[in-house]
Structure 1
């Protein structure tokens, strides 16, 4: 039995890598890049016919399903948290039905409401070579992001009022991991972040966690 994660930290694969590291799991990392054809090899396509990273392969006993293959980055992170962590109220694993619901809804929300525009900000404010950046695309994405950031800012304010410092609880959970992994892309939009101080402070605390720093450093 064993857990294997295919992908690289400079991609959406950071999500399952971060989850496994937060939980202190013993796992195998296969550093599969998204460029150069590695995800189009017959062996990789047998794991994920979409040809994308990440892919999680979990070798379970036959009575638990045998070899389990998971793709889609949010699904990978949620699977690892649910099936390899302890619902003890201390780890990233949801410990109650409410925490599980928060993890599900905020993860899907991040994909639907944040990801495309946050990636546009990252690419056109920082990641791409300066001569290829289009500031007007970043500006339009930042304008659209004001709506979902208003939503998460309000939620964090409500959480603070009930004595909870994170999205689902008064501790860091997989809900925070999934959403922060997306919102981190938008941090180059300084004015946008400054206009949502609770969100900015929260995402910075999330990505400064030792597990995330270690995953990014390892590549």
Structure 2
């Protein structure tokens, strides 16, 4: 049995979406981020990323983690690449070249997009740690990656192999943060259409429905 540690309002959403796409049964252990709690170490505090119980699973103190029949893995993007390859099918790489491309896109999204996209999201949601200047700088920084992605999607409408794969899930869940800045998507129409198609999938909607029901 696959166990996914993490709440829906975390990067665990990526793993849950993939599990739904693959039809995998899984157990979710709702570990919350410690910084969302007034005192993560208080008696009676919910299971969180600083709880000794969870730190035994992931000593880094981050979510998500998985336990797949005894194999414990961390890092959401790597977890998805592993699960896709293990279970095969159209979401998985068909050959070593596609495997390389899927890894490339995961790292690209994590290094070129995620921090900037989160700064936009945090600012637009009123997080005082991110100023307007930081958010504006993030928008500027994302214009080039959006253009790169838009050009890549011009070939087949997907990232790898001309079909929807785990690469699309990994990148789409990072691009989702940038939806707080619609102008970026208006300037990259293929990205806008691709993300809409990804988010129209039943597995994504199932994950988001559960996420929206979870306390903010």
Q: TM-score, normalised by structure 2?
A: 0.87
Structure 2 match to 1:64: none
CA distances 1:175-208 after superposition (whole Å, capped 9, x unpaired): 0000000011101211111111111111121122
Shift of 1:72: 0.8
What stretches of structure 1 move > 3 A for 4+ residues in a row?
131-134
Please state if 1:135 is matched with 2:132.
yes
Give matches, 1:103-142, under 5 Å. 103-125=102-124, 127-128=125-126, 134-142=131-139
For residue 151 of structure 1, the aligned residue among 139, 142, 148 is 148
Do the aligned residues in 2 keep the contact of 1:10 with 1:216 (CA within 8 Å)?
no
Structure 1 match to 2:88: 86
SS, match of residue 187 in structure 1? helix
Give matches, 1:156-195, under 5 Å. 156-157=153-154, 159=155, 164-195=156-187
Unaligned runs of 5+ in 1: 60-66
Do the aligned residues in 1 keep the contact of 2:157 with 2:190 (CA within 8 Å)?
no
Q: Distance in 2 between matches of 1:128 and 1:58?
A: 37
Do the aligned residues in 2 keep the contact of 1:6 with 1:53 (CA within 8 Å)?
yes
Shift of 1:132: 7.5
Do the aligned residues in 2 keep the contact of 1:15 with 1:73 (CA within 8 Å)?
yes
Unaligned runs of 5+ in 2: 41-47, 212-216
Q: TM-score, normalised by structure 1?
A: 0.86
Count of residues in Structure 1 that have an aligned counterpart in Structure 2: 200
Q: Distance in 2 between matches of 1:28 and 1:216?
A: 17
Please state if 1:210 is matched with 2:202.
yes
Do the aligned residues in 2 keep the contact of 1:15 with 1:76 (CA within 8 Å)?
no
Shift of 1:169: 2.2
- What is the aligned-residue RMSD (CA, Å)? 1.6
Do the aligned residues in 1 keep the contact of 2:119 with 2:138 (CA within 8 Å)?
yes
Do the aligned residues in 2 keep the contact of 1:184 with 1:207 (CA within 8 Å)?
no
Shift of 1:151: 1.1
Q: Distance in 1 between matches of 2:205 and 2:21?
A: 11
Q: Distance in 2 between matches of 1:133 and 1:50?
A: 24
Q: Distance in 1 between matches of 2:59 and 2:129?
A: 31
Q: Distance in 1 between matches of 2:78 and 2:130?
A: 31
Q: Distance in 1 between matches of 2:130 and 2:96?
A: 44
